[in-house]
Amino acid sequence: MPSRVVVAMSGGVDSSVAAAMLVEAGHEVIGVFMRHGSPAAAPAGTSLPIVEASRPGHQGCCSVEDALDARRVAERLGIPLYPLDLSDDFHRIIDYFAAEYGHGRTPNPCVRCNTWLKFGRLFDYADAVGASHVATGHHARLLATADGGHSLHRGCDRGKDQSSVLFEVPRERLRRMLLPVGELTKDEVRTRASGLGLVTADKPDSQEICFVAPGEHPQLVARMLGGSRAGEVVSTAGDVLGAHAGIEHFTVGQRHGTGIATGERLYVVRIEAAACRVVVGPRGAVPEQQLTAGEASWLIDEPAEPFRCFVQCRTGSPPAPAILTPLPNRRFQAVFLGEADSLPADAAPWPGAISPGQAAVVYDSSRVLGGGWIETS
């Protein structure tokens, strides 16, 4: 049944086509451009506030071009587009980003943005304008369950799947979410956009963190934390191999950028934040056997007993088979099985490098069951 729907329009092709599909379905569509950054002067002829100055080659979101593209798409579709100033809220995400690096962890600001803003504050806006649903251009699907609820699943285009960044969305909000492009491949999305004459049809996908230029996050972290966390690079045996410019430059599993030449490939095995020490070793020393996660969120009834599942430890990485054991205080342990036989095409025997601070997302086949934030590995 047609209804009033708020669509988060980022200025990208996916959200553009999501809005178009909802218009075609007869919904009353209200576009919203979420302004995250510091305001800048808007180009002449537009009343839409702009988030930041454009950066050449930037492929994040929330830029000047993104705001203008969202406006052009809305005009083409004949729908209103309103700016939603979330700059104050967004400081919370930047603070989290810097604090995680300062503690030797690798943050995932996109998940936090989806939880706190896109499916947090955006629902407040939807309620204020009397909208029944909130929609985005995420490549993920929502399917009805036998009990009348909804379940979250991977998008049909597994190469573009974004279901893992939605694991923290509150379960009760799934019934008010719409993910129109989840049933399409990326090529189909672009074909639809081209057929509708949308300016975003050939626009590159967003690939960078929206609030910092590519490769410049260590400078941002150092500035926010009052200086770099410089220290020693040591081997797994404790031998000092050299020095580094700051732990904010590193993540577990990283190979390049250690500045150490020993004749063998060295990877970051762990980061000891209190001592500002980066421990490196051979690939086999990088943790990928088990993890403990906290702040668990579940899109199913909270599990009480161990069960078999698949766990994905990095956005874009394949999930791996594991036994998950619930722990007290919204925590769980996942022990990876290392199975190489009879795996689905999009799974792997091991999860790859397990980095504290990243999300551990739990799947049953294509269905997202929940997840948590990696504490130890």
Helix (H, G, I), strand (E, B) or coil at 34: strand
Torsion of CA 109, 114, 115, 120, to 10 degrees: 130
Instruction: Please report where in the chains the tokens 């599909």 appear, as a residue.
Output: 21
Cα(368)–Cα(366) distance, integer angstroms: 7
Q: Where are the alpha helices (DSSP H) in the chain?
A: 13-24, 64-77, 87-102, 109-113, 122-128, 186-195, 217-225
Please state, in angstroms and as integers, the Cα–Cα distance from residue 228 to each residue in 150, 223, 250, 356, 357, following that order.
45, 8, 12, 20, 19
Please state, in angstroms and as integers, the Cα–Cα distance from residue 90 to each residue in 96, 117, 151, following that order.
10, 8, 28
Phi, psi of 126 (to 5 degrees): -60, -40
Torsion of CA 92, 97, 101, 106, to 10 degrees: 130
Angle at CA 294, nearest 5°, toward 245 and 286? 45
Active site residues: 113, 210
End-to-end CA distance of the chain: 47
Cα(352)–Cα(348) distance, integer angstroms: 9
